[in-house]
Amino acid sequence: MCGFVCLWNIGDESLAEKMVSKIAHRGPDAVEVVRGQGAPVVMAHCRLSIIGPEDGRQPIWDKGDLLVANGEIYNHADLRAILGESAFETESDSESILHLFRSGELRWIARLDGMFAFVLATKTRIIAARDPLGIKPLYMARIGGGLAFASELKAFDGIEVEAVEAIGPGMLYDSRDGLRQWYRTPHGAAEEEPGLDVEAVAGELRLVLDEAVAKWMLADVEVGSFLSGGLDSSIIAALAARLAPYRLKTFAVGTEGSADLAAAREVAAHIGSDHYEEVFTARDVARVLPHVIYHLESADVDLVRSAVPTHFAARLAARHVKAVLTGEGADELFAGYTYHHGYADHPHELAQELTRSLNAMHNINLQRVDRVTMAESLEARTPFLDRDLIDFAQSIPATLKMRRTDPEARESTGPTTEKWILRKAVADLLPESLVWRKKAQFDEGSGTVAALEEALMIVSGADAPLDRAAEAALYERLLREAFETPERILAAAGTWESEERVSAE
């Protein structure tokens, strides 16, 4: 895990150093700035050592080609075996990107399995690409006749550039061929086929989940797990506790007496993890709010609200581990949000909405998780967004995700249960009371909503709680104060929006 800057046809090492210094929090273990030999490129990299800690420094230089990468390639051992171990100079998983490119396969990038963003330069080409759902960030801008790439928007702050744009999820830019989409999220299935064996579907889902967690725990350092006490993080932590060759460390945060802290303790005791928790107050929230907004690179109300507990969880975890697993992605895959209940009798619309929300994660929840954890030099991993798990989950009918739990109830009556097939798949893994517990938003269960209301009064000096418009205005003011060129940040920021179905009845 790391951050990087790349300048193509811009021979300015001091500029690269200035830009990478603004994202140095992403990689405190080493910082390198390298000018290409024979290639018109300058690359800067700040590293958080996770795989190949002894010899995995970047940029990776080999035979005139230069590479910087952010993230993890989980199938790098398989790629080494296929490409030939003798070609590799380091133990870094990122080096497999370089040799796979050299293999000459037309769709070589599709062989990469993991979360990643990278820039690869040869003497005549620059190539930049991003993982299927955009778990890891990548931005591009033009400076004069050249191109600049960076892991975060703040690297461009105060620098004279043309419009900064994100390279989208599953996209690859090639200076020779332009931009292309190398990955497309499979469309979700809607209704069950006659005779579908639901038990078999749940059983297979469990196997795919097991494999995903095992894959995303790959590291040369210890990996911990966020544990809010909700279903998603509890599933990941429970599976990780079974797979880890050490006693898993879990991390929970909340206000005094919050539901999340109590639920997390129950889960930690059940799975036998080494559990850590931290209580925060409204004054703590007021103190960290400018820091959170600066690193989040967004003033969106919903993102800020959810980023606050993520910050405290990341700060706590970073004291003990370098990487953590999170439950991000389960709601989008298995219909976990409150508004999804409105689709209970409209499975085709639900399948479309889940696919849409998966494709929108990159600049909302995934941006929050990446920026806020990396601000604390912590790598966050999202096993629910494993490529094989996405493929399988999208093949599961929407009717098994949002399901009417009373088989005798007529259409449009009776209770509905979100993430039903996921709950069924893990029924033996966790206490029944948790498996079928109704979802609470992270900012609600952790007590952040009440603490934030008081914190906003402290920051603004108001005598009464702020309404949503005033809250949004305060976040935007804090963001503007944090950046030299705030319009550039605001223009690129994502906004959480649901396409709630309006009933025609």
Catalytic residue among 2, 135, 267, 323: 2
Closest C-alpha to 58, from 14, 26, 22 = 26
CA distance 425 to 489: 41
427 torsion bin: left (phi>0), alpha (psi -120 to 50), beta (else): alpha
* 174 carries a ligand binding annotation: no
Contact 141, 162 (CB under 8 A): yes
| Coil, strand or helix at 181 | strand
Strands 139-143 and 165-166: antiparallel
* 253 carries a ligand binding annotation: yes
| Coil, strand or helix at 280 | coil
Q: In what order do the strands lie in the sheet with 249-254?
A: 274-279, 249-254, 223-226, 323-325, 379-381
Strands 2-8 and 41-47: antiparallel
HSE-up (13 A, CA, CB side) for residue 465:
9
Q: Give the count of beta carbons closer than 10 Å to the beta carbon of residue 81.
A: 9
Q: Give the count of beta carbons closer than 10 Å to the beta carbon of residue 165.
A: 12
Beta-ladder partners of 251: 226, 276
Helices 448-460 & 282-296, crossing angle to 10 degrees?
A: 80
The string of DSSP letters for 237-260 reads HHHHHHH-SSPPEEEEEESTT-HH
Query: Is 46 part of the annotated catalytic residue set?
Result: no
Q: Give the count of beta carbons closer than 10 Å to the beta carbon of residue 411.
A: 8
Q: Output phi, psi for 99, to 5 deg.
A: -75, -30
Output helix, strand, coil percentages for the chain, rounded to the nearest 5: 45, 20, 40
CA distance 319 to 489: 30
- Side chain identity at 175, as an amino acid letter? S
Beta-ladder partners of 325: 225, 381
CA distance 188 to 55: 42
Enumerate the known binding-site residues for ATP. 253
Enumerate the known binding-site residues. 93, 253
Q: Which residues are catalytic?
A: 2
Enumerate the known binding-site residues for L-glutamine. 93
